[in-house]
Amino acid sequence: MSRFFRSKRQNPQENSTTIKLYPSLQQNITHFKQTVGESTDIVIRTFKAGQTGSMDIAVLYTSGLVNNELVHDFILDTLMSEIRKTPLDAPAHKSKRYKTKHIEENGNKAYQLIKDYAMTGGNVTDIDTMEKLFLHVLSGDTVVMLDGSIQAMAIDTRGWESRGVEEPSTQSVVRGPKEGFTETLRTNTALLRRRIKDPNLWIRSKPIGSKSKTDVAVVYLHGVADEKVVKEVYHRLNKINIDAILDSGYVEELIQDETYTPFPTVYNSERPDTIAAGILEGRIAIVVDGSPFVLLVPALFVQFFQSAEDYFQRADFSTLIRLIRYMAFFLALLTPSVYIALTTYHQEMIPTSFLVSLSAQREGVPFPAFVEALLMEITFEILREAGVRLPKAVGSAISIVGALVLGQAAVEAGIVSSAMVIVVSLTAISSFVSPSFNFAISIRMLRFGFMSLAATLGLFGILFGLIILTLHLASLRSFGVPYLSPMAPFIGADQKDAILRFPRWKLTTRPRLINQSNMDREDAKAPKPEKRKRLNQRKEQE
Partner 1 sequence: MMERRWFFLIAASVCLMLLSGCWSKRELNEIAITTAIGIDRVDDKYKLTIQVINPSEVSSKQMTTRTAVSTYTAVGDSMFETIRRLTTLTPRQAYMSHIRNIVFSEEMAAEGIGKVLDFLSRDHEMRTDFYLTVAKDMEAEDLLKVLTPLERIPAQKTYSSINTSEENWSAVQSIQISDVISTMISKGNNAVLTGLRVVGNPEEGSKLTNVEKVDSPAQIRVDELAVFKRDRLVGWLNEEESKGYNYILGNVKSTAEYAPCKNPEQGGITLELFNATNKMKADVKGEHPKVSVSIDVKAAIADVECALDLSKPAEVAKIEKQFEKIFVELMQSSIDAAQEDLQSDIFGFGDLIHRQEKHYWKSIEKEWDTIFPEIEVTLDAKVQIKRTGTTIDSFEKELEE
Partner 2 sequence: MMRMEVYGLVKEEITLRQFILLMILFIIGTSILLSPASLAASADNDAWISALVAMGAGLVIIVLFWIISQQFPERNLVDISELVLGKWLGKAVSLLFSYFALISAASVLWTVGNFLVTQIIVRTPALVIHFLVMFAVVYGIQLGIETICRTAEIFFPYIVTLLSIIYLFSIPSVEIKQIQPLLDSSFKQISEGAAFDISVSVLPLIVLLMVFPKYVSEKKRMLPKILLGYVCAYFFIVAITFITTTVLGVRVTANQSYPTYVIAKSLNIEGLIQRAEVIIAVSWILTIFFKLSMYFYASVTVLAQTIGLTSYRSITIPMGLITIALSLIIYPSTIYANDWNETTWLWFSLTFGFVYPLLLSVIGRLRGKSISSNNS
In the complex, which residues of this chain contact partner 2 (CB under 8 A)? 345-346, 348-351, 457-461, 463-464, 467-468, 470-475, 482, 484, 487-490
CA distance 231 to 127: 29
AA identity, residue 196: I
In eight-state DSSP terms, residue 66 is B
Nearer to partner 1 by Cβ, of 135 and 350: the residue is 350
Nearer to partner 1 by Cβ, of 46 and 361: the residue is 361
Which residue, among 19, 85, 23, has the nearest Cα to 50 in the 3D structure? 85
Nearer to partner 2 by Cβ, of 89 and 226: the residue is 226
Nearer to partner 1 by Cβ, of 43 and 355: the residue is 355
Contact range with partner 1 by CB under 8 A, out of 19-27, 135-143, 365-373, 507-515: 365-373
Q: Which of 36, 119, 240, 365 binds partner 1 (CB under 8 A)?
A: 365
Which residues are paired to 54 by β-bridges? none
Contact range with partner 1 by CB under 8 A, out of 168-176, 179-187, 277-285, 368-376: 368-376
Q: Which of 244, 246, 327, 356 binds partner 1 (CB under 8 A)?
A: 356
- Select from partner 2, partner 1, none the partner in contact with residue 474, using the beta carbon and a kind-dependent cut-off of 5 to 8 Å: partner 2
Residues with Cβ < 8 Å from 300, sequence gap 6 or more?
478, 481, 483, 484, 485, 486, 511
Residues with Cβ < 8 Å from 352, sequence gap 6 or more?
none
Q: How far is the CB of 357 from partner 1 (least distance, A)?
A: 4
Question: C-alpha 218: how far from its chain's center?
Answer: 11
Residue 368 touching partner 1 (CB under 8 A): yes
Contact range with partner 1 by CB under 8 A, out of 141-149, 278-286, 294-302, 357-365: 357-365
Q: Are 154 and 287 in contact (CB under 8 A)?
A: no
Q: DSSP string spanning 263-278?
A: S-SSEEES-HHHHHHH
Residue 483 touching partner 1 (CB under 8 A): no
Residue 261 touching partner 1 (CB under 8 A): yes
Q: Which of 12, 15, 199, 260 binds partner 1 (CB under 8 A)?
A: 260
Which residue, among 270, 264, 267, has the nearest Cα to 293 in the 3D structure? 270
Consecutive H or E run containing 207: strand 201-208
Q: Are 514 and 491 in contact (CB under 8 A)?
A: no
Q: Which of 347, 470, 516, 536 binds partner 1 (CB under 8 A)?
A: 347
CA distance 350 to 424: 19
Residues binding partner 1 (CB under 8 A): 258, 260-261, 343-345, 347-348, 352, 355-365, 368-370, 449, 452-453, 455-458, 461, 468, 472, 475
